[in-house]
Structure 1
Amino acid sequence: MKSSIGDLAARFGLPTHVLRHWEQMGLLTPERSTAGHRLYGEADAARIVLIQLAKEAGLSLEQTRRLLTDARDRQSRRDLYAAHAETLHRRIAAAEAALALVEHAAECDADDFTTCPHLAAKVAARL
């Protein structure tokens, strides 16, 4: 059974303009009725789930488009995923450093955190 853009968007909690944008980017290619209305099948629904999973993994829509349309060979996919994994490792390291700073600040005995030796060392390291 085919779904309208409104029905499919509602199914995934998305505004209809998101599906139109994804179509414009080449991520979705719905069928059209004789009147020109978009008709989505289960393959389109599965594609939406893939796009959402890619977004949750931090991939951009352009990276997702390349994975789903251009990077059909294994090596191209591996290269794209490896590059993204490096980005994620950098983000994780930055988040862990931020967490350590915040946790230290929460437990710091300094009356004024700006006088904390731990913070002063971090500031000095960046000067």
Structure 2
Amino acid sequence: MDMDLSVRLNVDMKSIGEVAAQFGLPTHVLRHWEAEGLLTPARAGDRRRYTDADLYRVAAILISKEAGFGLADIRTMLAVRSAPARHEVMARHRDRLLARIARAQAALDMLEGGLECPHDDLMTCPHFQGHLADRLHVEV
């Protein structure tokens, strides 16, 4: 990047510290994501400079990580440049996430059933057992 362009861009760009603070991350996380190929911030000399596009990318990485995806999966999702290929990758990830959501919902239902149970021994409560019946594949 030529010096005039980097000076002009610095006005609208953020430093690694600013981006880290905005997202509540330590700066080493952003450096790690860069090393993993998830981020490619511009450089002004030896300083990283993040554009709005980089900020959206950080947000996408965080949401994906919070959903349980690993960095390799996130890199694949974000790196695919053709819409059909990207849709295929994202559909696979959506299906995996929907399955995890269903498992988490079953666990939440079980906990809520336990919270509603007046019995001293939770395992003898018919209502609570009803939440476990699907796992047992039997009717209660």
Superposition TM-score tier, normalisation by shorter sequence? 0.7 to 0.9
Q: Which runs of 5+ in 1 are unaligned?
A: none
Distance 1:112 1:46, change over 3 A: closer
| Counterpart in the other structure of 2:30 | 19
In the TM superposition, 1:88-127 aligns within 5 A as: 88-117=97-126, 118-119=128-129, 122=132, 125=136
TM-score w.r.t. length of structure 2 = 0.69
| Counterpart in the other structure of 2:91 | 82
Distance, in Å, in 1 between the alignment partners of 2:89 and 2:17 is 33
Distance 1:41 1:74, change over 3 A: closer
Q: Give the alignment partner of residue 78 of structure 2, picking from 57, 61, 68.
A: 68
Give aligned-pair identity as a percent. Answer: 45
Distance, in Å, in 1 between the alignment partners of 2:63 and 2:118 is 43
2:25 is the alignment partner of 1:7: no
| Counterpart in the other structure of 1:41 | 51
Q: Structure 1 residue 49: deviation in Å? A: 2.8
Residues paired across the two proteins, number? 124
Contact 1:114 1:120 in 2 (8 A): no
Q: Structure 1 residue 51: deviation in Å? A: 2.5
Distance 1:23 1:104, change over 3 A: same
Q: Which runs of 5+ in 2 are unaligned?
A: 1-10
Letter in 2 for 1:110: H
| Counterpart in the other structure of 2:41 | 30
TM-score w.r.t. length of structure 1 = 0.75
Distance, in Å, in 1 between the alignment partners of 2:131 and 2:116 is 17
Alignment RMSD (CA, Å): 2.8
Letter in 2 for 1:40: Y
Contact 1:5 1:40 in 2 (8 A): yes
